[in-house]
Amino acid sequence: MNLPPIRAKAGQVFLYKPETSMKTVSIADQYNWITSDYRTQKNNPSIKRHRYYSRNAGGVYNAKFQRYVYYCMNQDIEDRIYLIVYVGDEKTFIDAPHGNRKHDKERNFIKTNKALLNSLKGSDAFPHTLYKQKISEQNSKLQSIEENLSLAYESSEIPRDVKQIENKLYNERKKNKISRDYIYNLYEIGVNLDPFVLELKLLPELQIIFGKNF
Protein backbone atom coordinates (compact mmCIF):
# COMPACT_ATOMS: atom_id res chain seq x y z
CA MET A 1 0.00 0.00 0.00
CA ASN A 2 1.09 3.61 -0.66
CA LEU A 3 -0.76 5.02 2.33
CA PRO A 4 0.21 4.27 5.94
CA PRO A 5 -2.01 1.83 7.89
CA ILE A 6 -4.53 3.66 10.07
CA ARG A 7 -5.11 2.35 13.61
CA ALA A 8 -3.98 -1.15 12.67
CA LYS A 9 -4.78 -4.03 15.00
CA ALA A 10 -2.36 -6.45 16.60
CA GLY A 11 -1.57 -9.34 14.28
CA GLN A 12 -1.91 -7.29 11.11
CA VAL A 13 1.01 -7.10 8.66
CA PHE A 14 1.51 -4.49 5.93
CA LEU A 15 3.87 -3.85 3.02
CA TYR A 16 4.20 -0.08 2.80
CA LYS A 17 5.73 1.82 -0.12
CA PRO A 18 5.44 5.54 0.75
CA GLU A 19 5.00 8.03 -2.07
CA THR A 20 7.86 10.13 -0.71
CA SER A 21 11.20 8.75 0.49
CA MET A 22 11.80 8.60 4.25
CA LYS A 23 15.27 9.46 5.53
CA THR A 24 14.02 8.41 8.94
CA VAL A 25 11.16 5.99 9.50
CA SER A 26 7.98 8.03 9.97
CA ILE A 27 4.66 6.22 9.57
CA ALA A 28 1.50 8.19 10.32
CA ASP A 29 -0.56 5.27 11.63
CA GLN A 30 -2.27 7.46 14.29
CA TYR A 31 -0.53 5.81 17.26
CA ASN A 32 2.17 7.30 19.47
CA TRP A 33 5.38 5.30 19.64
CA ILE A 34 8.62 5.19 21.63
CA THR A 35 11.62 3.88 19.70
CA SER A 36 13.08 0.89 21.47
CA ASP A 37 15.96 -0.38 19.36
CA TYR A 38 17.38 -0.79 15.87
CA ARG A 39 19.19 -3.91 14.79
CA THR A 40 20.11 -5.91 11.73
CA GLN A 41 19.06 -9.50 11.24
CA LYS A 42 21.71 -12.14 11.96
CA ASN A 43 20.80 -14.26 8.95
CA ASN A 44 20.67 -11.20 6.65
CA PRO A 45 22.65 -8.11 7.81
CA SER A 46 21.15 -5.99 5.03
CA ILE A 47 17.72 -6.17 6.71
CA LYS A 48 17.22 -3.60 9.47
CA ARG A 49 14.55 -3.90 12.14
CA HIS A 50 13.06 -1.06 14.16
CA ARG A 51 11.06 -1.91 17.27
CA TYR A 52 8.61 0.52 18.87
CA TYR A 53 6.56 0.44 22.07
CA SER A 54 3.29 2.36 22.17
CA ARG A 55 3.18 5.47 24.34
CA ASN A 56 -0.03 6.03 26.25
CA ALA A 57 -1.48 9.27 27.63
CA GLY A 58 0.97 10.97 29.97
CA GLY A 59 3.93 9.42 28.17
CA VAL A 60 3.38 6.05 29.85
CA TYR A 61 5.46 3.27 28.31
CA ASN A 62 3.22 0.43 27.08
CA ALA A 63 5.01 -2.83 26.25
CA LYS A 64 1.72 -4.63 25.61
CA PHE A 65 1.37 -3.11 22.15
CA GLN A 66 4.36 -2.96 19.82
CA ARG A 67 5.23 -2.23 16.20
CA TYR A 68 8.08 -3.75 14.18
CA VAL A 69 9.32 -2.18 10.94
CA TYR A 70 11.70 -4.02 8.58
CA TYR A 71 13.42 -2.73 5.45
CA CYS A 72 16.42 -3.49 3.25
CA MET A 73 19.34 -1.08 3.71
CA ASN A 74 20.79 -2.07 0.33
CA GLN A 75 17.84 -0.44 -1.43
CA ASP A 76 17.92 3.23 -2.37
CA ILE A 77 15.81 5.31 0.02
CA GLU A 78 13.28 6.20 -2.68
CA ASP A 79 12.80 2.51 -3.56
CA ARG A 80 12.43 1.10 -0.08
CA ILE A 81 9.45 -1.03 0.87
CA TYR A 82 8.68 -1.36 4.59
CA LEU A 83 7.28 -4.46 6.26
CA ILE A 84 5.17 -3.33 9.24
CA VAL A 85 4.04 -5.81 11.90
CA TYR A 86 1.76 -4.99 14.86
CA VAL A 87 2.11 -7.18 17.95
CA GLY A 88 0.30 -7.41 21.29
CA ASP A 89 -3.04 -5.81 22.13
CA GLU A 90 -4.03 -2.49 20.52
CA LYS A 91 -6.82 -2.09 23.10
CA THR A 92 -4.18 -1.27 25.73
CA PHE A 93 -3.27 1.92 23.86
CA ILE A 94 -4.68 5.08 25.48
CA ASP A 95 -4.87 8.32 23.49
CA ALA A 96 -3.40 11.48 24.96
CA PRO A 97 -5.66 14.57 25.12
CA HIS A 98 -5.02 17.11 22.39
CA GLY A 99 -6.63 20.47 21.62
CA ASN A 100 -10.43 20.30 21.66
CA ARG A 101 -10.16 16.61 22.46
CA LYS A 102 -9.36 17.60 26.03
CA HIS A 103 -13.01 18.55 26.41
CA ASP A 104 -14.48 16.01 23.99
CA LYS A 105 -13.17 12.57 24.94
CA GLU A 106 -15.10 10.88 22.12
CA ARG A 107 -13.38 12.93 19.44
CA ASN A 108 -10.30 11.26 17.98
CA PHE A 109 -7.33 13.46 17.17
CA ILE A 110 -5.96 12.62 13.72
CA LYS A 111 -2.37 13.60 12.97
CA THR A 112 -1.68 15.03 9.54
CA ASN A 113 0.81 12.91 7.64
CA LYS A 114 4.30 14.37 8.21
CA ALA A 115 5.24 13.76 4.57
CA LEU A 116 2.32 15.94 3.47
CA LEU A 117 3.47 18.85 5.64
CA ASN A 118 7.11 18.40 4.59
CA SER A 119 6.05 18.76 0.96
CA LEU A 120 5.23 22.41 1.75
CA LYS A 121 8.87 23.29 2.48
CA GLY A 122 10.39 25.93 0.24
CA SER A 123 7.07 27.03 -1.21
CA ASP A 124 6.45 30.76 -1.76
CA ALA A 125 2.76 30.30 -2.48
CA PHE A 126 0.03 31.74 -0.26
CA PRO A 127 -1.36 29.33 2.39
CA HIS A 128 -4.89 29.30 0.93
CA THR A 129 -3.44 28.50 -2.52
CA LEU A 130 -1.43 25.59 -1.11
CA TYR A 131 -4.47 24.39 0.83
CA LYS A 132 -6.62 24.21 -2.31
CA GLN A 133 -3.78 22.58 -4.23
CA LYS A 134 -3.25 19.83 -1.64
CA ILE A 135 -6.98 19.22 -1.31
CA SER A 136 -7.21 18.70 -5.06
CA GLU A 137 -4.17 16.42 -5.20
CA GLN A 138 -5.20 14.26 -2.27
CA ASN A 139 -8.87 14.00 -3.24
CA SER A 140 -7.96 12.55 -6.63
CA LYS A 141 -5.77 9.98 -4.86
CA LEU A 142 -8.40 9.08 -2.27
CA GLN A 143 -11.04 8.51 -4.95
CA SER A 144 -9.18 5.37 -5.98
CA ILE A 145 -9.58 3.88 -2.48
CA GLU A 146 -12.61 2.04 -1.20
CA GLU A 147 -15.13 4.39 0.39
CA ASN A 148 -14.78 2.98 3.92
CA LEU A 149 -11.00 3.41 3.77
CA SER A 150 -11.00 6.86 2.17
CA LEU A 151 -12.86 8.27 5.18
CA ALA A 152 -10.15 6.93 7.49
CA TYR A 153 -7.38 8.49 5.42
CA GLU A 154 -9.08 11.79 4.67
CA SER A 155 -8.13 13.43 7.98
CA SER A 156 -4.46 12.45 7.80
CA GLU A 157 -3.80 12.86 4.07
CA ILE A 158 -5.54 16.23 3.65
CA PRO A 159 -4.42 19.43 5.44
CA ARG A 160 -6.59 20.19 8.47
CA ASP A 161 -7.14 23.83 7.50
CA VAL A 162 -5.40 26.90 6.09
CA LYS A 163 -4.11 27.81 9.57
CA GLN A 164 -2.15 24.56 9.76
CA ILE A 165 -0.39 25.44 6.50
CA GLU A 166 0.24 29.01 7.71
CA ASN A 167 1.90 27.67 10.86
CA LYS A 168 4.05 25.22 8.90
CA LEU A 169 5.24 27.89 6.45
CA TYR A 170 5.86 30.37 9.27
CA ASN A 171 8.00 27.91 11.23
CA GLU A 172 10.01 26.94 8.13
CA ARG A 173 10.63 30.55 7.13
CA LYS A 174 11.51 31.49 10.70
CA LYS A 175 14.42 29.02 10.59
CA ASN A 176 15.96 30.92 7.67
CA LYS A 177 15.09 34.39 8.89
CA ILE A 178 18.00 36.78 9.44
CA SER A 179 17.66 38.70 12.70
CA ARG A 180 17.87 42.51 12.78
CA ASP A 181 20.91 42.29 15.07
CA TYR A 182 22.65 40.04 12.55
CA ILE A 183 21.92 42.47 9.72
CA TYR A 184 23.06 45.47 11.80
CA ASN A 185 26.32 43.73 12.73
CA LEU A 186 26.89 42.87 9.08
CA TYR A 187 26.43 46.49 8.03
CA GLU A 188 28.78 47.61 10.80
CA ILE A 189 31.44 45.18 9.57
CA GLY A 190 30.90 46.42 6.03
CA VAL A 191 31.48 50.05 7.04
CA ASN A 192 34.63 49.17 8.95
CA LEU A 193 35.98 47.14 6.03
CA ASP A 194 35.53 49.91 3.49
CA PRO A 195 36.58 49.76 0.65
CA PHE A 196 36.84 45.93 0.85
CA VAL A 197 33.03 45.61 0.97
CA LEU A 198 31.84 47.44 -2.13
CA GLU A 199 28.11 47.19 -1.66
CA LEU A 200 25.40 45.89 0.68
CA LYS A 201 21.81 45.26 -0.48
CA LEU A 202 18.76 44.15 1.46
CA LEU A 203 16.00 44.33 -1.15
CA PRO A 204 14.37 41.87 -0.60
CA GLU A 205 17.20 39.50 0.35
CA LEU A 206 20.63 40.27 1.69
CA GLN A 207 23.35 40.53 -0.96
CA ILE A 208 27.00 41.33 -0.31
CA ILE A 209 29.53 42.26 -2.97
CA PHE A 210 33.18 41.93 -1.97
CA GLY A 211 36.13 43.51 -3.69
CA LYS A 212 39.89 43.38 -3.35
CA ASN A 213 42.42 46.17 -3.72
CA PHE A 214 45.60 45.31 -5.57
- Return the SS3 of 163: helix
Least confident of 83-97, 121-135, 196-210: 196-210
Mean pLDDT is highest, among 20-29, 46-55, 57-66, 176-185, for 46-55
Please state the domain count of the chain.
3
**CA distances from residue 35 to 25, 26, 28, 76 in whole angstroms, order as listed:** 10, 11, 14, 23
Q: Which of 71, 89, 111 is the last residue of a domain?
A: 111
Domain extent for 12? 1-111
27 and 104 co-located in one domain: yes
Mean pLDDT is highest, among 33-37, 115-119, 136-140, 194-198, for 33-37
43 and 73 co-located in one domain: yes
Mean pLDDT of the chain: 79
155 and 188 co-located in one domain: no
pTM to 2 decimals?
Answer: 0.58
Which H or E element spans position 63? Answer: strand 60-72
Least confident of 30-39, 49-58, 70-79, 183-192: 183-192
105 and 185 co-located in one domain: no
18 and 63 co-located in one domain: yes
1 and 81 co-located in one domain: yes
Length of the chain: 214
99 and 6 co-located in one domain: yes
pLDDT of 87 strictly over 90: yes
172 and 187 co-located in one domain: no
pLDDT of 74 strictly over 80: yes
Phi and psi at 71, nearest 5°, equal: -155, 165
Which CATH number is 16's domain given?
2.170.150
Pick 137 or 70 by higher pLDDT: 70
CB-based contacts of 147, cutoff 8 Å, min separation 6:
none
pLDDT value, residue 104: 52
pLDDT value, residue 205: 65
130 and 88 co-located in one domain: no
